[in-house]
Amino acid sequence: MAALANAFGQADATDTASGAAGTLSVKAPSRVRGGLTYQSEFVIHAKRDLRAPTLVLDRGWVDQTTINTLQPEPAGSTTNGEGDLKLRFAPMRAGRTLVVYGQFQANPLNVGPHEGGVSLYDGGHFIASIPRSQFDFP
């Protein structure tokens, strides 16, 4: 009964942040059960031309979590010094919107709270950030 009331997660929540150069939205569950797959949606809207739109996912998105797919695939990916995942996409013209879908699977042993923030950059220039957290149940 508790699972039907979303006590153990999987229901999506949408958060949005905006800066002068663009807008970022994230639709993802904030509570997930270990072993299950879930989808997240990242939406980038360019208010100005973006030469190197880059999503930065806090380490909690990848620590003890499997990324099954990202569509469309980024033009490049790396990590920063803290282990955050950086996903760079093709340039975007002002007025364009990019929707990135990610399918994730939480490791059943990865129990507890995790940082799940997402930031948007144009290369090294900060645009917007969404602080989030995710709680993984066993």
pLDDT on residue 57 = 97
Summarised one tens digit per residue, pLDDT across range 9-32 is 567 889 999 999 999 999 999 999
Give SS3 for 3.
Answer: coil
Q: Which two tokens stand for residue 99?
A: 């929707």
pLDDT in tens, 42-83: 999 999 999 999 999 999 998 888 999 999 999 999 999 888
How does DSSP classify residue 91? -
CA distances from 73 to 10, 56, 87 (A): 24, 14, 9
Task: Locate the domains of the chain by residue range.
Answer: 12-137
pTM of this prediction exceeds 0.95: no
- Of the candidates 56, 30, 52, 60, the one whose C-alpha atom is nearest the C-alpha of residue 42 is 56
Q: Which fold has domain 12-137?
A: Immunoglobulin-like (2.60.40)
Residues above pLDDT 70, as percent of the chain:
93
